Chain A
Amino acid sequence: QVQLQESGPGLVRPSETLSVTCSVAGYSINTGYYWGWIRQSPGEGLQWIGSIHQTGNTYYNPSLRGRVSISVDTSKNHFSLNLTSVTAADTAVYYCARHLAVRGILQWLAPWGQGSRVTVSS
């Protein structure tokens, strides 16, 4: 049974870089799925951030491109999110999830991790 667990800093200063890692248990990252990041601002909806394949191929939300990078470490069976130059608007719960993509078409996300709450504040 695949389980995902995020680990993040909790608090990040404005203008710094937010880093969150997702550890995958019970399932190998090397199985052809993509692995994605989604965030949810307080009281708001969901925003897809981006997704990565075991090969390192990535897709990013155009609105965040330039600030976001996602990497994968297959030896550790985890993947990571880096978001640079953060502001208060980046305060959110950051979720990771397994992401089905077929021929480059991004489809459903399941399961999700429990989420990592990150606050951007000085």
Chain B
Amino acid sequence: QSGLTQPRSVSGSPGQSVTISCSGTGNDVGRYDYVSWYQQYPGKAPTLIIYDVNTRPSGVPDRFSGSKSGNTASLTISGLQVDDEADYFCSSYGGSHNSVLFGGGTNLAVL
């Protein structure tokens, strides 16, 4: 099974919105609503910010939102803040092999 595909980097200015895409196939992202997103600061462990495509865990600001269309999931961060500068990883249930797939990660720069 291949991993999910994310852009290597995105950037935005404070206050703007950015969207990070996560492309899979009809056997994972396209078939199951079990897409999650993780935020990782340098040298730190990832933390869950979105699960089940568009659900935010308690404590995650509503500036973070998730969606899915076909085989592509997306994470949108609105009202960008400097603190949002981090790496973002998507993940999906992998289907028939009872596995978990991750994207390669996207580095967000807030310029």
Closest 8 CB pairs of A and B: A110-B48, A48-B100, A108-B51, A112-B45, A45-B104, A46-B102, A108-B36, A45-B105
What is the bound-complex CA distance between A46 and B46, given in angstroms? 10
What is the bound-complex CA distance between A122 and B36, given in angstroms? 38
Q: Which residues of chain A come closer than 8 Å to B94, judged between CB atoms?
A: 106
A33 proximal to B (CB < 8 A) = no
Asked if residues A62 and B97 are in contact (CB atoms below 8 Å), the reply is: yes
The prevalent SS among residues of A at the interface is strand
Binding site for B on A (CB under 8 A): 36, 38, 44-48, 51, 59, 61-63, 95, 104-115
Residue of A36, A61, A107, A114 touching B52 (CB-CB under 8 A)? A107
CB nearest neighbor in B for A63: B1
Q: Which residues of chain A come closer than 8 Å to B52, judged between CB atoms?
A: 107-108
The count of residues in chain B whose C-beta lies closer than 8 Å to any C-beta of chain A is: 27
Q: Which residues of chain A come closer than 8 Å to B46, judged between CB atoms?
A: 46, 95, 109, 112
Number of A-B contacts (CB under 8 A): 72
Asked if residues A107 and B3 are in contact (CB atoms below 8 Å), the reply is: no
Asked if residues A46 and B89 are in contact (CB atoms below 8 Å), the reply is: yes
Sampled A-B contacts (20; CB under 8 Å): A45-B3, A46-B105, A48-B99, A51-B100, A61-B99, A62-B1, A105-B32, A105-B34, A106-B93, A106-B94, A108-B34, A108-B51, A109-B36, A109-B48, A109-B91, A109-B100, A112-B46, A113-B45, A114-B44, A115-B45
Asked if residues A48 and B105 are in contact (CB atoms below 8 Å), the reply is: no
What is the bound-complex CA distance between A48 and B34, given in angstroms? 15
Interface of chain B residues 1 through 47 with chain A (CB within 8 A):
1, 3, 32, 34, 36, 38, 44-47
Asked if residues A95 and B34 are in contact (CB atoms below 8 Å), the reply is: no
What is the bound-complex CA distance between A10 and B27, given in angstroms? 37
Query: What is the CB-to-nearest-CB distance from A68 to chain B, in angstroms, rounded to a whole number?
Result: 12
Asked if residues A107 and B36 are in contact (CB atoms below 8 Å), the reply is: yes
What is the bound-complex CA distance between A45 and B1, given in angstroms? 15
What is the bound-complex CA distance between A3 and B100, given in angstroms? 22
